[in-house]
Structure 1
């Protein structure tokens, strides 16, 4: 019997979209619970560490988005075949997370003057630094981020692009053809394409 999955997150793509992509890829039916921010306070105490996302499978709760993605990657045959390949995937995912955090730090900055300073650094320095290297990495791995094959890291990247594009307000892969090709390849996988066509529309 297939596991019963319940994914809880806010009403946006954010950290949960890679999980949704992986669940969709694996054809794992899941309940997609989305909280508005005003609904969050009373729910917070029911989560393991007062944070989302939380994935519940057969009554067992998992937290930490990357750990959830890694678990699903192994379950779906998208992990490394040995310790080195697994490390390659982890390094790629952690690098993408570093980039996401830099973008998020700028996007959620409440002080407008500070935000403008951060914006200049992010767009002139941070994005080119990371994207040039990731673009070359994909080229060296035959069109993928690690291990010369499709892994959960590629799905993680393609899913987070939606959030990062929303923050940047443009397609961050537009000047990086290898990354653009990888994103397109993942998004055109039938099960993921189907998910994208039916998911709720949000900016980030």
Structure 2
């Protein structure tokens, strides 16, 4: 709707002049209280009328100021982070390839709903979810009317939406590189757990130091391992690395014993307040790493 009323969340000079602040002020006072209660920014700026964009802990908020009772009220035409987002994750009753999506959304203060697809339904000939899936795979991610498949595409989409995809072309490229490295490790684990279980996990576990050493080295090259994998703010690759570390720690509890930076990274990112709340939730605790038998 915002795009129809205000293309590209912009406003022309003609629309500025046509906008009658006195007639609109009373109508929007109640809205202002609502937005304030949802922690949308209010900036004192008497008499102003301007476009105002901000990055919050949630989605990009595009708003328009109106002078009302001595202050500028931020009226938004897109969702504030604490309002219902319209996100839907469609996936199996697992952590799997949807868990990093959940980590991002929870840490960014967004809400979402889960649409679970049972394995027994997925493998039937008439499964609608499978028919609709672009590449015959899940997860499926909905942002309002927008639908996206492929887990890493979803991560990159959320990375751009929440401003956690790098502050420059170089940072974005490095974040992609780390995320691809996590994907390589995830695929090796998936092969062992789901496609070659008869071979056992002993060799895989023995080879883990070689796998983790690359990530330990990457961390050491950014603020001596005290921050994130790239730059000075969190990225979608940090969440993906955190998830794969959580999975390995659950399966191989001593796997990080020789990796102090990865251990500290896992503890540090997991302790972010909103993320920690999700990690302690019953939904997270009840969601298995591998299918329940």
TM-score (norm 2): 0.63
Greater relative contact order (CA < 8 Å, ≥ 6 in sequence): 1
Shift in Å, 1:171:
5.2
Who is 2:288 aligned against?
203
Corresponding residue number in structure 2 for 1:136: 217
Find the counterpart in structure 1 of residue 178 from structure 2: 92
Query: Which structure 2 residues correspond to residues 9-20 of structure 1 after superposition, within 5 A?
Result: 9-20=91-102
Aligned residues: 198
CA distance in 1, matches of 2:157, 2:112: 16
> Which of 115, 118, 122 does residue 33 from structure 1 map onto?
115
Q: Is the 8 A contact 2:92 2:119 kept in 1?
A: yes
Q: Does 1:163 align with 2:244?
A: no
Query: In the alignment, is residue 102 of structure 1 matched against residue 183 of structure 2?
Result: no
SS of 1:55's partner is strand
| Structure 2: gaps (5+ residues) | 1-77, 80-84
Q: 1:172 to 1:69 in 2, by over 3 A?
A: farther
Counterpart-to-counterpart distance in 2, 1:128 and 1:154: 19
Return the offset for 1:34.
2.2
CA RMSD of aligned residues (A): 1.8
Spell out the pairing of 1:46-65 with structure 2 (5 A cutoff).
46-65=132-151
191-200 or 63-72: bigger deviation: 191-200
CA separation in 2, counterparts of 1:154 and 1:81? 15
Deviation at 1:48, TM superposition (A): 2.1
Higher helix share goes to which structure? 1
Query: 1:56-80: CA deviations, max 9, x gaps?
Result: 1112111111111111112112111
Q: Normalized against structure 1, the TM-score is what?
A: 0.88
Q: Which has the larger radius of gyration?
A: 2
